[in-house]
Structures are given as C-alpha cells and as structure tokens.
Amino acid sequence: MTTQSTLKRQEHIAGYLFILPNLIGVLVFVVLPVIAGLVLSFTRWDLLTPPVWINIDNYKQLLHDPLFWVGLKNSAYYSLLTVPAGIVVSLLLALLVNIPLKGINIFRTIYFIPVVTSITAISLVWKWLYNPEFGILNFILEKFGLPPQQWLNDVHLAMPCIALMSIWRSMGYNMVIFLAGIKAIPTQLYEASRIDGANRFQMLWHITLPLLKPTLFFVLVMSIIGSLQVFGEIYVMTNGGPGNATLTYNYFLYQNAFLWFKMGYAASLGYVLFLIIFVLTIIQFKFLGARISYEVF
C-alpha cells in the first residue's frame, strides 16, 4: 500500500470518527424511534401491559372513527385559514421592512420576537385577550357599541380566533425568509425598470414576485406542513373545544396517546398524518415545483 493510499485511508477514518457522534444521535433518536413507532402502530398497547400484535386493525379502526375525520377536517380548515393569509401578510410585511428607513432593523426585530417566544406564553396572553368577561377585545367592542362575543367559547369563532393568533405568531419567521429572497434580487433589474419608466407596482408584479417564486414555494410547503401539525395553541387555549370545533388531528393523536393510553392507535394516527403530509408535498413539487426556475436571470 502506497503512502498516499494510507493517508487517504486515515483521512477517511478520521472523517467517520468526527461524524460518528451525530450518526449515533440520528440512529438512536430518529431512526430507531421511527421504526419502533411503525411496529407499534400494528399493536394494542396501553403502557401498562405488554403490546399485543393486531395487524392492521388500528388502521381499519381509524377509518371508522368519527373523531378521526373531525380532526382531519379541522386541520384542513385551520390550514385554509392560516396558510394563504399568513403568506400574504408575511410578504407584505417583508416588502415594508425592506424600505431603507432609519431604525427599520428595530421593527424587523419586533416582528420576529413572537417566533422565538414560548407558544404557551403567547397562547395564554391571547386567551386573556379573547376572554368573554374581561378580555380587551370585548372591551373594545363595547366601546363601539357592539355586542360582546364568546370568541373561544363559540363553535364558529374558536378556530378563526386560533388561526388569527397563529398568523400573528408566524408572520415574523416567514417575513425573514421573504426578506432574504427580496435581498437576493439584483438591484440592476430595478434600476433598469426605473429607466424604462416602471412604477413600484409594475416592479413588484414583473420583477419581485416572479423572482420570489422559489421562496414562495418554500414558504407554502413549510406552512402547510406546519399547519397540519398544530398542537400547542389548541392544547393551551381550547383543549379541542367547544364541541370539538378545534379538535385538530395532532390534538386527537395526543388524546389517544397520553389521555386514553392507546399508544398503538396513536402511532397509526401518526403514520397516517405522515402519509398525508408526504402526499401533499409530492403533489406540490409535481404541479408547482416543476414550474419554478431557480435562476436569477
């Protein structure tokens, strides 16, 4: 064996040793739990007695479970409320904070603070705002002579109320992503369009939005994935009520696993959710991703 081959072999061994801790972490905390969860989804297990193999009975049961369909419907409704509105609000916010004004970085920081704030703390604050007895929203309505609302206690208002809070909380994260995409657009394109007499709206429509397509696509995919996994807001603010109006898929999974101790059934719910998200993502990449160009010019 030549000296060069020995050195390459030593470099390879050293490289594997450096990534070994991460590989072990991925194996122990990601790969093995995924495999264990898949096996568990074919069993009946209540944490107290040994698991019992029941083949695909869990998957058959969820298809006939009315709460499964309620959770799926509510999650889809939540996505329809939050994803389009969240993208539009975040994009408009990114365009506003992109204006070169003195102190604009302070506003960018303020808008991003909810993203790094505990979801529990934010949910408790908004729950207080929505309180029908002493909440500030009903106080404002009364000042304008309007009747107070039950907000989170109303079957029709509860989910829109949670969606509004979620849009407010996540708009800073998407704003940063959109802002990065806007900053990556060459300024020469705007300068050339100004010379040709284009106004701000024309530059937005013909330059900014077309070149933001990759960023828009990324935000769309991630927003849909995140919206289908909503849990914290529901857990703190409504517990799935009133009347299952905010019973989302993830909260129903939590109920089965940690309230009713149906671990096998909860695992099957988790894998069905994974399949739904996977299929939706593939569809988006097939019909939207194929039309997106990642080249600047």
Distance, CA of 178 to CA of 97 (rounded, Å) = 11
pLDDT in tens, the chain (297 residues): 567 777 788 888 888 889 999 999 999 999 999 999 999 999 999 988 999 999 999 999 999 999 999 999 999 999 999 999 999 999 999 999 988 888 888 888 888 999 999 999 999 999 999 999 989 999 999 999 999 999 999 999 999 999 999 999 999 999 999 999 999 988 898 889 888 888 888 998 988 998 999 999 999 999 999 999 999 999 999 999 999 999 999 999 999 999 999 999 999 999 999 999 999 999 999 888 766 765 544
pLDDT of residue 121: 94
Contact between 264 and 43 (Cβ < 8 Å)? yes
DSSP structure string for 167-215: HHHHHHHHHHHHHHHHHTS-HHHHHHHHHTT--HHHHIIIIIHHHTHHH
pLDDT of residue 290: 67
pLDDT of residue 123: 95
If you search the block for the tokens 């020469």, which residue do you land on? Answer: 188
Q: Which residues pair with 53 in a beta bridge?
A: 43
pLDDT of residue 297: 44
* C-alpha closest to that of 173 among 96, 111, 80, 82: 111
- What domains does the chain contain, in order, with CATH numbers? 60-291 (1.10.3720.10)
Distance, CA of 31 to CA of 158 (rounded, Å) = 37
